[in-house]
Chain A
Amino acid sequence: SYELTQPPSVSVAPGQTATITCGGNNIARKGVHWYQQKPGQAPVLLVYDGSERPPGISERFSGSGSGNTATLTISRVEAGDEADFHCQVWDPLSDCPGIFGGGTKLTVL
């Protein structure tokens, strides 16, 4: 079955750029989606189809991908960005098509 690998944690100082990766076999060829989840809240769609932002999502959040790695980049990090970030793909050829990465905790120093 297809697996997604995320680093458990990433730390960054305010104003700097945070990079969160999501690894998977040929992941750049799949539609990769990212969610932000703040403590005690439901996940919120942040980026879909690798690099598209839903309405209302800040331009500071951007997605990209190449080969076996998809990347979520957060520029000019703010204290309010501290959250868990989850990547997700849909594998239509699988009997269990919904796949999430393990999640990454972003800490703003």
Chain B
Amino acid sequence: EVQLVESGGGLGQPGGSLRLSCAASGFSFSSYDMNWVRQAPGKGLEWVAYIRSSGGPIHYADSVKGRFTISRDNAKDSLSLQMNSLRAEDTAIYYCARVVGERYHFYMDVWGKGTTVTVSS
């Protein structure tokens, strides 16, 4: 079964750090690009970061650029999101999602169940 399982969410302090992980199974992880997508309470989906299957290039939303770092370990079928300088507006459910598509018409065909991040003092 194709599956993505996020972990690492929890309560973070403003200005603090958290590291999210996403474990992939049931498919050849190293062959797929990956995204992190988040959803603040009561809000829509917001794309956060993208990483190519090989590890680069990488893209970030302006809202997280310079604070968040996406990375992957293809040997361990794992995706990560290092979140530094946390802000209250980073409070959200964070999803990892598999990226597919041709001619750069990328979309996400497999999603994890998400992990909740709350930033508060």
List B residues 41-80 near A (Cβ within 8 Å).
43-48, 50, 59-62
Residues of B in contact (CB 8 Å), total 26
**Is B108's CB within 8 Å of the partner chain A?**
yes
Chain B positions within 8 Å of A33 at CB level: 105, 107-108
CB < 8 Å: which of B44, B61, B112, B114 contacts A98?
B61
Q: What does the 1/0 interface line of B77-121 toward A look like (CB < 8 Å)? A: 000000000000000000100000101111111011110000000
A85 to B106, CA, bound (A): 18
A86 and B113 within 8 A (CB)? no
Beta-carbon nearest neighbor of B108 in chain A: A45
Which residues A61-109 have CB closer than 8 A to chain B?
84, 86, 88-90, 92, 95-103
Size category of the A interface is 20 to 34
Given contacts A96-B62, A98-B37, A98-B50, contact A45 B44 (CB under 8 A): no
A14 within 8 A of B: no
Task: Mark contacts of A24-47 with chain B using CB atoms, 8 A cut-off: 1 yes-contact digit, 0 otherwise.
Answer: 000000110101010001111100
Contacts of B101 in A (CB 8 A): 31, 48-49, 90
> Would you list the 6 A-B pairs with minimal beta carbon distance, nearest first?
A31-B105, A98-B47, A103-B44, A33-B107, A92-B104, A90-B106
A interface vs B, CB < 8 Å? 30-31, 33, 35, 37, 41-45, 48-49, 54, 84, 86, 88-90, 92, 95-103
Q: What 11 additional pairs, Cβ within 8 angstroms, besides A45-B109, A90-B105?
A: A42-B113, A48-B105, A48-B109, A49-B105, A49-B107, A88-B45, A90-B104, A96-B61, A97-B47, A101-B44, A102-B44
